């Protein structure tokens, strides 16, 4: 390397400067500096504002030559370079030079891009909750090969030895707020895919999901499988049970695999669909199926048990099911769940 430097420096000042820039970034990489330190060092070397952005998180780091965050709004980039990792573009680096580009700017940005990719691979992306939807989709898609999935997870901040669970959510609350509450101390990323929020987390505590959020929670046996489980569990959520773990569904999960046409043609489901025209009756049936007890259903509905008994008698005649019998209660519960799945199938991600 030293002999090469001597030969190049004998050619012209530009070659000597290029070698100095390369050596500068080699030193930074040996010292294992992080992205903010890279931006500060680059700004000082270039004597202008330097910046970098990671596509996966949207994180932007800018530094002025004095090492502080710039006090001015971002100026148009005078020079840019792509940050690539495993042949995939993961970000951009740039300089905001007010005058014409310096002859060494291209070399500087090339080395900054290499150093930034090294830092991302070592430290992972910045700790932000929201992520690039394309990366999240790559991590959970059935069509992704394992190498692409592993690369996407790494760029999202999940190491190879870290379990990943997927949560499918529907809510008016911001996804980043839900993700931060769900997993405050461990890696968590979120993105919106179509009308469904997707949260990837190293651990999931259902009790931390805020009120008003419908959430289906998958297992930790791979993000692809976990996503399938999470969106199935989301279909089983109700106003009374807004959070459902796939593992708790057991055999009920099989209902989600029945073709909608078959479900729609079932007599019990058709009877529940007719009952849905009366929200009061539907709520009463739901409370009774959830509790299996007339008195507990009355408590849930804040009604006298005799009133609930009269409603259930009328509902039983409408459904053609004897609700006081165990078999009848099972039939009604399955029919009510299957009918709800028909509606959720139209909203399924």
Q: What is the CATH number of the domain that holds 73?
A: 3.30.450
Confirm whether 273 is domain-assigned.
Answer: yes
- Residue whose entry in the numeric block shows the structure tokens 């190049």: 8
> What is the per-residue pLDDT for 185?
67
Q: Do 226 and 265 fall into the same domain?
A: no
Q: What is the CATH number of the domain that holds 328?
A: 1.10.10.2840
Q: Do 209 and 146 fall into the same domain?
A: yes
Q: Looking at 228, 253, 278, which one is the last position of a domain?
A: 253
Contacts of 251 (CB under 8 A, 6+ apart): none
Q: Do 244 and 263 fall into the same domain?
A: no
Distance of alpha carbon 165 from alpha carbon 220, whole angstroms: 5
Q: Looking at 99, 123, 147, which one is the last position of a domain?
A: 123
Q: Do 50 and 6 fall into the same domain?
A: yes
Q: Do 284 and 177 fall into the same domain?
A: no
Confirm whether 128 is domain-assigned.
Answer: no
Contacts of 229 (CB under 8 A, 6+ apart): 166, 216, 217, 218, 219, 246
> What is the per-residue pLDDT for 128?
62
Distance of alpha carbon 42 from alpha carbon 51, whole angstroms: 9
Q: Do 6 and 106 fall into the same domain?
A: yes
Residues in the chain: 349
Q: Do 178 and 234 fall into the same domain?
A: yes
Split into its structural domains, the chain has a count of 3
Confirm whether 263 is domain-assigned.
Answer: yes
Contacts of 26 (CB under 8 A, 6+ apart): none
Q: Do 232 and 247 fall into the same domain?
A: yes
Distance of alpha carbon 249 from alpha carbon 147, whole angstroms: 31
Confirm whether 57 is domain-assigned.
Answer: yes
Q: Is 188 exposed, middle or buried (0-12, 13-18, 19+ CB in 10 A)?
A: buried
Contacts of 332 (CB under 8 A, 6+ apart): 268, 272, 285, 288, 289, 319, 321, 323
Q: Do 272 and 243 fall into the same domain?
A: no
> What is the per-residue pLDDT for 4?
40
> What is the per-residue pLDDT for 10?
47
Confirm whether 48 is domain-assigned.
Answer: yes
> What is the per-residue pLDDT for 125?
54
Confirm whether 165 is domain-assigned.
Answer: yes
Q: Is 342 exposed, middle or buried (0-12, 13-18, 19+ CB in 10 A)?
A: middle
Write out the H or E segment, with its range, that includes residue 158.
none
Return the structure tokens found at 30: 């040996």
> What is the per-residue pLDDT for 266?
97
Q: Do 146 and 81 fall into the same domain?
A: no
Assess contact for 188 and 127: CB atoms under 8 A.
Answer: no
Confirm whether 17 is domain-assigned.
Answer: yes
Q: Looking at 253, 282, 302, which one is the last position of a domain?
A: 253
Spans of the chain, pLDDT less than 50: 1-11, 126, 347-349
> What is the per-residue pLDDT for 186?
76
Q: Do 308 and 342 fall into the same domain?
A: yes
Range of the domain at 20: 2-123
Q: Do 228 and 283 fall into the same domain?
A: no
Confirm whether 301 is domain-assigned.
Answer: yes
């Amino acid at each position: 390397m030293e002999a090469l430097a001597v030969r190049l420096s004998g050619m012209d000042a530009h070659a000597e400067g290029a070698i100095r820039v390369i050596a500068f970034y080699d030193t930074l990489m040996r010292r294992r500096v992080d992205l903010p330190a890279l931006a500060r060092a680059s700004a000082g070397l270039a004597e202008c504002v330097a910046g970098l952005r990671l596509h996966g998180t949207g994180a932007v780091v800018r530094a002025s030559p004095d090492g502080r965050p710039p006090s001015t709004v971002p100026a148009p980039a005078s020079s840019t370079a792509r940050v690539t990792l495993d042949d995939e573009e993961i970000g951009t680096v740039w300089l905001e030079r007010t005058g014409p580009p310096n002859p060494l700017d291209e070399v500087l940005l090339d080395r900054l891009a290499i150093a930034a990719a090294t830092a991302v691979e070592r430290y992972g992306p910045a700790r932000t909750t929201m992520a690039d939807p394309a990366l999240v989709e790559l991590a959970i898609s059935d069509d992704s090969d394992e190498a692409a999935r592993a690369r996407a997870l790494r760029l999202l901040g999940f190491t190879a030895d870290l379990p990943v669970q997927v949560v499918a959510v529907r809510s008016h609350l911001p996804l980043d707020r839900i993700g931060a509450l769900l997993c405050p101390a461990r890696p968590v990323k979120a993105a919106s895919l179509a009308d469904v929020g997707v949260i990837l987390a190293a651990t999931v505590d259902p009790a931390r999901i805020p009120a008003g959020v419908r959430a289906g929670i998958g297992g930790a046996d791979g993000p692809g499988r976990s996503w399938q489980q999470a969106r199935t569990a989301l279909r089983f959520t109700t106003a009374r049970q807004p959070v459902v773990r796939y593992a708790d569904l057991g055999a009920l999960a099989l209902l989600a695999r029945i073709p909608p046409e078959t479900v729609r043609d079932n007599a019990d489901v058709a009877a529940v669909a007719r009952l849905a025209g009366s929200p009061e009756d539907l709520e009463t049936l739901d409370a009774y199926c959830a509790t299996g007890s007339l008195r507990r259903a009355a408590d849930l509905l804040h009604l006298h048990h005799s009133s609930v008994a009269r409603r259930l008698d009328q509902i039983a005649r409408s459904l053609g099911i004897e609700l006081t019998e165990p078999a009848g209660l099972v039939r009604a519960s399955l029919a009510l769940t299957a009918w709800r799945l028909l509606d959720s199938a139209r909203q399924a991600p």
